[in-house]
Chains A and B, each alone.
Chain A
Amino acid sequence: MNALSLRKHKELIGIALLAVLIFVVLPVSLDIFRLNLFGKYLTYAFVALGLVLCWGDAGILSLGQGVFFGLGGYCMAMFLKLEASSVANTKIQSTPGIPDFMDWNQLTALPYFWQPFHSLTFSLIAVVVAPTAFAFVIGVAMFKRRVGGVYFAIITQALAAILTILIVGRQGYTGGINGITDLRTLKGWDIRTDHAKYVLYFVNGGLLIGAIMVARYVRGSKLGRILVAMRDKEDRVRFSGYDVANFKTFVFCLAAAFAALGGAMFTLQVGFMSPSFVGIVPSIELVICCAVGGRNSLLGAVYGTVLVNWAKTTFSEDFPNLWLFAMAALFIGVVLAFPDGLAGLYRSYVQPYANRLLGSMQDSIRGRRVAPASAVSSRVE
């Protein structure tokens, strides 16, 4: 269809623009400190992408994405920490060769579940597989029983709280509330140098574009259509013969995988991981980043995340008290005033001008396509 290919075109152009922004504009115009900050924002964008799929498209609100972000991040951190805790580096400890926090907690040997993280391959696999497996278990347990909507959200929230308490309490094994800090090298390559930060930034950007393409593919496929149908009228999809639970579990696992990837890239770029990314507050902030950008738009989610985090850094420097009010306004505004986020605003105000540039024929087609999409953008119970 003419309009569909135009729409795909538009999105590809958008992705290309994003790529230019990430790979060309930002590195040229920012110093390494600010660029590293943007790299950090882009790792949050992974989570937002996952949320677009599972919340915007499938209607599953997860308030515990921090769990998967954290699990991915911790897997990467465990590998890096073991490498940084070689016998040579830790000779002043009572037990050389184990991470410093284990030494303070009077552990004398590496716990068994840390052992496999000596291997980079295992760690990389674990980064993706462990959170996805966890998401699978939760998904199967809940979706098969038709737990959805609000209940699911609250349970994910409880899980985030539980994991935080566990990590903080078992400090001998996890580094506790300090997290796992002082990460130095990846297979001998120092990740703290400026050069390394540049490389990691570009790798991160590349992975992000890759994730967007994967997400696009999922959305454009038949699976994507079923997800949208499930969000709007779940029973009808079920009566049509589809196993709704399987689809929900799949998209939830995909979102978890994205979040985990983001977590691992975060650990690499920032140099540590702590339970303060796992809990309730960071999880819900990730949701709001996605919402601000537009929960139905992949590009919107990325821009929204970057914008919210950039605003947070800037405002909290100058107006720390005002920042919380601004956040509150964001939450309320995004729900009441502009539920489609920036993407919706773009679609309503900017796109007509853009289209006028491309001719009136395309404009009329687009008019017919946009209206149904925005009508179903708010979740109906």
Chain B
Amino acid sequence: MSANNGRSHLPSALRRRLLLGMAALPAAALLPRPVFADIPPTSAVNTTGLAVTDDSVTIGILHSITGTMAISETGSVEAEKLAISQINAKGGVLGRQIKFIQEDGASDWPTFAEKARKLLVSDKVAAVMGCWTSASRKAVLPVFEQYKGILYYPTFYEGLEESHDVFYEGQEATQQIIAGLNWIADTKKAKTFYLLGSDYIWPRTSNKIARKHIEDHLHLEVVGEDYFPLGNTEFNSVINKIKLKKPDVIYAIIVGGSNVAFYKQLKAAGVDMVNKQTLLTISVTEDEIRGIGGENIVGAYAAMKYFQSIDTPTNRAFVDAFKKMWGPQSVIGDVTQAAYEGPWLWSLECEKAGSFDTEKVIAAAPGTVFNAPEGPVKVHENHHLWSKLRIGRARADGQYDIVYVTPEDIEPNPFPKGYQ
């Protein structure tokens, strides 16, 4: 970027010649627009004292690198770093390279709040890619609202929230649940459901929505509903109950390490998900299958917006780039891909707003479209994303076969009437 350095010192005639020369290069054809002459000055793009210089802008990454959540959040961090490196390779945002400050939430919600405050107040980052659990998001929410920051939150979650300062890249409950239940009731001719979950807000809220939909809209039956503390490893009792009730569909929202115990015990109890018993989950991505073991969960259905096995050129390129950066053994789950969308969405929104000021970025955001690996996604006024839902069937090798995609994007609806 030699033109960049010399911009303020070169006489204009020499500058024009350089520009013409550069334009002749084939590489220039690949650039989205001429970058050199168009870099807006810092005073125009940054009127609120953010960490922006003439050639760089700083954002924050706030995930758990240690503690129990590190297992899940590592993928998000990797995806965000990949996105940042790709954006930088394309010329950065508003002509500036993205630098990031990474903080460790340590799976501890107060630490998340503290680090969020540090990133916004001390480091003055322009945006934060962060959080994973709802608890961490709830803990940092007041900080973002007080200091007018922007948070890009990747995980699918229970909805019931619509903050001015947060963009939700993951699906909220109605997007994930309703279409999935419709499909399974249709294709499997299911009449009875058994709902299971880990005992905290996301599974409980999701199952409430599921139950409402099953009973009031599909007019089918829920024959059982059970919850287990996080970290629980004993599922034999509920597996016995399930075997006796013989539900057509087991609807499982078990989270974290308990998944491993649950599916192993399910298989050991002789529940055959390939031929006899249908199981639908919204909490097992390719990341979790690594710990569960593909052969223990083969045959289960999962409802996600993204699977690593999506067969489009965009996704294949994404998977290749990810594996190149993070190792050939990497797997990419729904949340990891959603985290990848974060820096891209932010950079597109900044370009659209022509500024890094958070209020301008937030104002410009609705309507932004990004060609994500899952397909094009659009930002809604409620800061969630329009996206499709896919149903995948788990294979023994840990990947999913995609058996259904909703034909249209589903509108996000975090406060669904009739489901509350």
User: Which residues on A are within 8 Å of B, measured CB to CB?
Assistant: 31, 33, 36-37, 40, 92, 94, 101, 104-106, 165, 168-169, 171, 176-179, 181-183, 192, 270-272, 274, 276-277, 313, 316-317, 320-321, 323-324
Chain B positions within 8 Å of A33 at CB level: 117-118, 121-122
Interface: B34 (CB within 8 A): no
Alpha-carbon distance A176/B204, docked complex (angstroms): 11
Q: When the two chains form their complex, are residues A169 and B65 in contact, meaning their CB atoms are under 8 A apart?
A: no
Interface: B229 (CB within 8 A): yes
Q: When the two chains form their complex, are residues B106 and A316 in contact, meaning their CB atoms are under 8 A apart?
A: yes
Q: When the two chains form their complex, are residues A272 and B139 in contact, meaning their CB atoms are under 8 A apart?
A: yes
Partner of A324, one of B66, B110, B420: B66
Q: When the two chains form their complex, are residues B201 and A270 in contact, meaning their CB atoms are under 8 A apart?
A: no
Q: Say yes or no: A104-B158 contact (C-beta < 8 A), given A271-B142, A272-B139.
A: yes
Interface: B160 (CB within 8 A): yes
Indicate the member of A94, A101, A274 with the most B CB atoms within 10 Å.
Answer: A274
Q: How many A-B residue pairs have CB under 8 A?
A: 91
Chain A positions within 8 Å of B204 at CB level: 105, 171
Q: Say yes or no: A168-B142 contact (C-beta < 8 A), given A178-B201, A323-B66.
A: no
CB within 8 Å of A: which B53-85 residues: 65-66
Q: When the two chains form their complex, are residues A274 and B135 in contact, meaning their CB atoms are under 8 A apart?
A: yes
Encoded as 1 (CB less than 8 Å from any A CB) or 0, chain B from 221 to 235 comes to 000000101100000
A265 to chain B, nearest CB (A): 14
Interface: B103 (CB within 8 A): yes
Alpha-carbon distance A101/B160, docked complex (angstroms): 10
Alpha-carbon distance A277/B106, docked complex (angstroms): 14
Q: When the two chains form their complex, are residues A171 and B111 in contact, meaning their CB atoms are under 8 A apart?
A: no
Alpha-carbon distance A101/B113, docked complex (angstroms): 19
Partner of A176, one of B65, B118, B201, B420: B201
Chain A positions within 8 Å of B135 at CB level: 177-179, 274, 276
CB within 8 Å of A: which B79-138 residues: 103-104, 106, 108-111, 113-114, 117-118, 121-122, 133-135, 138
A214 to chain B, nearest CB (A): 27
Q: When the two chains form their complex, are residues B199 and A316 in contact, meaning their CB atoms are under 8 A apart?
A: no
Q: What residue of chain A has the Cβ atom nearest to residue B228's Cβ? A: A169
**Chain A interface, >50% SS class:** helix
Chain A positions within 8 Å of B199 at CB level: 168-169
Chain A positions within 8 Å of B103 at CB level: 317
Q: When the two chains form their complex, are residues B66 and A321 in contact, meaning their CB atoms are under 8 A apart?
A: yes
Partner of A313, one of B114, B142, B160: B114
Indicate the member of A31, A176, A178 with the most B CB atoms within 10 Å.
Answer: A178
A295 to chain B, nearest CB (A): 25
Alpha-carbon distance A165/B415, docked complex (angstroms): 28
Chain B positions within 8 Å of A177 at CB level: 133, 135, 200-201, 230
Alpha-carbon distance A179/B113, docked complex (angstroms): 13
Interface size on B, residues (CB 8 A): 36
Q: Say yes or no: A274-B139 contact (C-beta < 8 A), given A106-B208, A169-B227.
A: yes
A90 to chain B, nearest CB (A): 13
Q: When the two chains form their complex, are residues A276 and B104 in contact, meaning their CB atoms are under 8 A apart?
A: no
User: Which residues on B are within 8 Å of A, measured CB to CB?
Assistant: 65-66, 103-104, 106, 108-111, 113-114, 117-118, 121-122, 133-135, 138-139, 141-142, 146, 158, 160, 199-201, 204-205, 208, 227, 229-230, 415, 420
Q: Say yes or no: A320-B104 contact (C-beta < 8 A), given A177-B200, A177-B230, A182-B141.
A: yes
Q: When the two chains form their complex, are residues B142 and A181 in contact, meaning their CB atoms are under 8 A apart?
A: yes
Chain A positions within 8 Å of B134 at CB level: 178
Q: What residue of chain B has the Cβ atom nearest to residue A183's Cβ? A: B142
Q: When the two chains form their complex, are residues B160 and A104 in contact, meaning their CB atoms are under 8 A apart?
A: yes
Q: When the two chains form their complex, are residues A192 and B142 in contact, meaning their CB atoms are under 8 A apart?
A: yes
Alpha-carbon distance A36/B113, docked complex (angstroms): 12
Chain B positions within 8 Å of A274 at CB level: 109-110, 135, 139
Q: When the two chains form their complex, are residues A179 and B201 in contact, meaning their CB atoms are under 8 A apart?
A: no
Q: What residue of chain A has the Cβ atom nearest to residue B232's Cβ? A: A165
Q: When the two chains form their complex, are residues A276 and B110 in contact, meaning their CB atoms are under 8 A apart?
A: yes
A342 to chain B, nearest CB (A): 24
A69 to chain B, nearest CB (A): 12
Give me 27 A-to-B residue pairs in the complex whose CB atoms sit less than 8 angstroms apart, sorted by A's number. Answer: A33-B121, A101-B201, A104-B205, A105-B201, A105-B204, A106-B208, A169-B199, A169-B227, A171-B201, A176-B200, A177-B201, A179-B135, A181-B138, A192-B146, A271-B113, A272-B109, A272-B113, A274-B110, A274-B139, A276-B109, A276-B110, A276-B135, A313-B114, A317-B103, A317-B104, A323-B66, A324-B66
Alpha-carbon distance A94/B418, docked complex (angstroms): 11
Q: When the two chains form their complex, are residues A94 and B141 in contact, meaning their CB atoms are under 8 A apart?
A: no
B236 to chain A, nearest CB (A): 19
Q: What residue of chain A has the Cβ atom nearest to residue B122's Cβ? A: A33
Chain A positions within 8 Å of B229 at CB level: 165, 168-169
Partner of A316, one of B104, B141, B142, B160: B104
Q: When the two chains form their complex, are residues A181 and B139 in contact, meaning their CB atoms are under 8 A apart?
A: yes
B238 to chain A, nearest CB (A): 16
Alpha-carbon distance A282/B113, docked complex (angstroms): 17
Chain B positions within 8 Å of A104 at CB level: 158, 160, 201, 205
Chain B positions within 8 Å of A40 at CB level: 114
Chain B positions within 8 Å of A171 at CB level: 200-201, 204
Alpha-carbon distance A107/B5, docked complex (angstroms): 61
Chain A positions within 8 Å of B158 at CB level: 104
A49 to chain B, nearest CB (A): 21
Q: When the two chains form their complex, are residues B109 and A316 in contact, meaning their CB atoms are under 8 A apart?
A: no
Alpha-carbon distance A92/B104, docked complex (angstroms): 34
Chain A positions within 8 Å of B146 at CB level: 192
Q: When the two chains form their complex, are residues B113 and A270 in contact, meaning their CB atoms are under 8 A apart?
A: yes
Alpha-carbon distance A166/B208, docked complex (angstroms): 20
Chain A positions within 8 Å of B109 at CB level: 178-179, 272, 274, 276
In the A-B complex, the 10 residue pairs with the smallest Cβ-Cβ separation, listed nearest first, are A178-B135, A177-B200, A178-B138, A320-B104, A181-B138, A104-B160, A169-B199, A320-B66, A177-B135, A33-B121
